[in-house]
Amino acid sequence: MTNHVSILGSTGSIGTQALDVVRKRGINVTALCVHNNVELLEKQAREFAPQLVAVFDKNRFNDLKARLADTPIRVEAGMDGLCACATESQCDTVLTSVVGMVGLVPTLCAIEAGKNIALANKETLVAGGELVMAAAKRKGVKILPVDSEHSAIFQCLESSPRKEALKRIILTASGGPFFGKTLEALKSVTKAQALNHPNWSMGQKVTIDSSTMMNKGLEFIEAKWLFDLTPEQIDIVVHRESIVHSMIEFQDNSIIAQMGVPDMRIPIQYALTYPERYESPVEQLSFAQYPKLTFFEPDYKTFLCIDICRDAIRRAGVFPAAANGANEAAVQLFLDDKIAYYDIPFAVREAMENAPQKSSVTLEDIFEADRAAREFVLEKHA
Ligand code: MG
């Protein structure tokens, strides 16, 4: 149960929804940290009165400092600022809701400082899963998933602590806006179409990843680390309505599902109040409003990113970090109108396969693989 939280990425989609939960639950805010939105950070700081705030973009430091000059709040900047927020003494839980590889080091700092992690940053486990889980184990801290699918699996597993009884987990996927399309049909996809997600409201990068199903591939890798599974124990099913958030199956083929309306404040609140449950601002699920829940096998021939991620985690080492870095670069090129939507998975696979085979990985190896994969994509496609 969180009493004092530091939020890394407080102005993003997860961050603002987390503050909604924090406000309603009366959780204390120790630190807030943003990429560059100092206008909103100032408002948040005045409302939640943290000890410390930080802006990652150092160019915004003076602006932020001037805005908060009449308050006792300390102001920091850059990666040092993020790590200061992640390790500030009073907080017991760090919510990592920054987007991108920038989340990895502050998360490791927070773990080393003995903080529990409410994890909403994908890259932390995708790129650094082995290091992060080992550090968490060594320090005895909890990694509490915020992502709806992982929260669902986490909640289902609570019902059966006996790991040997588990056969597999089943991640649900909405299928995105291009469900039912052929690979060929993706050649004409526009930016507006790719940014229009049917069920979830999210940031741009995550929305594109959801449309290519790279998001599900990354979640596959995260699930492997989070729940200590083999890739063979993880299945994916397309579930258009996003009501079943994921499931676990036992040896006797009994399945437990976690359900609810698609609203991130349920998993955010559970991560922050675990193991307690409280009333939430989210509406109750009315089954009568969803008379039909549908399930489909993912179309792996159209959504190539799922198998790219599955291959990356089977190869292990730095391959997942390379796939993730290449994807971030490719999605940015697409958003900048430099490559077509259709090109994204091909760019990612090529860069992933170009990564070096390593039996054990260090933090430096991970950052190098990430950098090299991005460069590979930029050189080929920019
Ligand atoms: Mg998700």
In whole angstroms, what is the distance from residue 202 CA to residue 172 CA?
17
Contact 373, 322 (CB under 8 A): yes
Q: Is the torsion defined by CA of 210, 213, 217, 223 positive or negative?
A: positive
Centroid of ligand 1 to alpha carbon of 234 (angstroms): 15
Q: Which amino acid is at 323?
A: A
What average pLDDT values come out for the chain (382 residues) when binned by 10 residues?
96 96 96 97 98 98 98 98 97 95 96 98 95 98 98 93 90 95 96 80 83 97 97 98 97 96 96 95 94 97 98 97 97 96 98 93 96 97 80
Residue 219 CA, ligand 1 centroid: distance in Å: 7
Distance 150 CA to ligand 1 centre (A): 7
- At 302-346, the pLDDT tens digits run 999 999 999 999 999 999 999 999 999 999 999 999 999 999 999
Distance between CA atoms of residues 208 and 193, nearest Å: 10
* 58 phi and psi angles, rounded to 5 deg: -60, -25
CA of 149 to the centre of ligand 1 (A): 5
CB 234 within 8 A of CB 171: yes
> What are 60-117's pLDDT values in tens digits?
999 999 999 999 999 999 999 999 999 999 999 999 999 889 999 999 999 999 999 9
148 CA distance to ligand 1 centroid (A)?
5
How much is the pTM? 0.95
Span from the CA of 207 to the centroid of ligand 1 (angstroms): 10
User: Distance, CA 69 to ligand 1 centroid (Å)?
Assistant: 38
- Ligand 1 centroid – CA 89 distance (Å): 30
Residue 63 CA, ligand 1 centroid: distance in Å: 34
Distance 76 CA to ligand 1 centre (A): 31
What spacing in Å lies between the alpha carbon of 154 and ligand 1's midpoint? 13
Can you say whether the dihedral through the CA atoms of 266, 271, 273, 274 is positive or negative?
A: positive
